[in-house]
Structure 1
Amino acid sequence: MAWDEGAPVVGIIMGSTSDMPAMEPCMQQLEEFGVPYEVKVASAHRKPAEVHEWASTAHERGIRVIIAAAGKAAHLGGVVAAYTPNPVITVPMKTSDLGGLDSLLSMVQMPSGVPVACVAINGAKNAAILAVQMLGTGCDEAHQKIIDFKTAMAEA
């Protein structure tokens, strides 16, 4: 499964435009891997119908892995996971209240049957790497990109 002429295979969703700077490393890493992605800003609390529509149609649009970033209550990843069969990686955003611990705990305490993978607070780059690793389970091109990436890290 190679990507089809730049059609997005990773979907990135965040609850607010204020999350965009923290998610730049994710987008940059995907670009370095040459993995096409799409970005959506929609809050699980303020725009639940929009989140539902985006998440429930992601697979049909060619999205294979979703990365969801949110802060505070951080329900976005879980809501997205409820509406898609695709794997969801969550990125807890650092907050001024509790430094992101509130976001992290919200994300890792998902109910049975609605799993999400969770990276470190503001771990946007690792979310991109994990997404490509997931893609690599069914795509030799993505698999090789991760091998090359890890080789380059070892040689640095």
Structure 2
Amino acid sequence: MVDVSIISGSASDEEVAEKAWTVLKEKGITYDYQVISAHRNPDRLDEYLAGSDAKVFICIAGLSAALPGVVASKTKKPVIGVPVSGKMMGGIDAVLSIVQMPKGVPVACVGLDNGQNAALLAIRILDLSKL
């Protein structure tokens, strides 16, 4: 059983994921890390989500940044999106993709490449069960 699932859409996003798992490790929070693209591996993503016991999902994605929204559409658990900076638009495309979710698909969004804040937000969400 893990508290937080970190999913990145591409192996090239691992540096941002590492920022998140470093904070989680320091705080003693259990986590799992997966690289699963919502576009290239939708069936694998569905299987992973169906079998995951994580309480919070951190989804790291660049470009169209569909991953956080896809995950949020398939779970009732909290989803935190981390937009990744890119070469084409500096990452603003990823920010807008995560921020502009349709009604009924809530995704929290932290700053570009800010895996640390995603982990800290996940910890605050987990701490709510202790109140």
Same fold (TM over 0.5): yes
- CA contact 2:16–2:60 (8 Å) conserved in 1: no
Q: Aligned-residue CA RMSD in angstroms?
A: 1.0
Query: Identity across aligned pairs (percent)?
Result: 44
The CA deviation at 1:94 is 0.6
* Aligned partner (choices 91, 100, 116) of residue 125 of structure 1: 116
Give, in whole Å, the separation in 2 of the partners of 1:21 and 1:104: 18
Counterpart residue identity of residue 19, structure 2: P
- Shift of residue 57, structure 1, vs aligned partner: 3.0
Contact 2:81 2:109 in 1 (8 A): yes
How big is each residue's C-alpha offset from its partner over 1:78-131, in whole Å with a ceiling of 9 and x where there is no partner?
A: 000111110000000010111110000000000100100000010100000000
C-alpha displacement of 1:139 = 2.6
Say if 2:87 is the partner of 1:93.
Answer: no
- 1: CA distance, partners of 2:36 / 2:128: 29
- The answer to whether the aligner puts 1:52 opposite 2:46 as a matched pair is yes
Q: Which runs of 5+ in 1 are unaligned?
A: 1-6, 141-156
Q: Give the match for residue 39 of structure 1.
A: 33
Q: Which runs of 5+ in 2 are unaligned?
A: none
Query: Equivalent residues in 2 for 1:62-81 (5 A)?
Result: 63-81=54-72
Equivalent-residue separation in structure 1 for 2:92 and 2:11 (angstroms): 20
- Deviations 1:30-89 (CA, angstroms, capped at 9, x unpaired): 00000010011010000011111212332xx2x100000000000000000111110000
Secondary structure in 1 aligned to 2:103?
Answer: coil
- Answer with 1 or 2: which has the greater Rg: 1
Residue 21 (structure 1) aligns with: 15
* Partners of 1:15 and 1:8 in 2: CA distance: 20
Equivalent residue for 2:4, pick from 5, 10, 18: 10
CA distance in 2, matches of 1:66, 1:26: 11
> Which structure exhibits the higher relative contact order, with contacts defined as CA atoms closer than 8 Å and separated by 6 or more residues?
2
TM-score for both structures, normalised by structure 2: 0.96
How far apart, CA to CA, are the structure 1 residues paired with 2:37 and 2:55?
21
1-side partners of 2:15 and 2:55: how far apart? 24
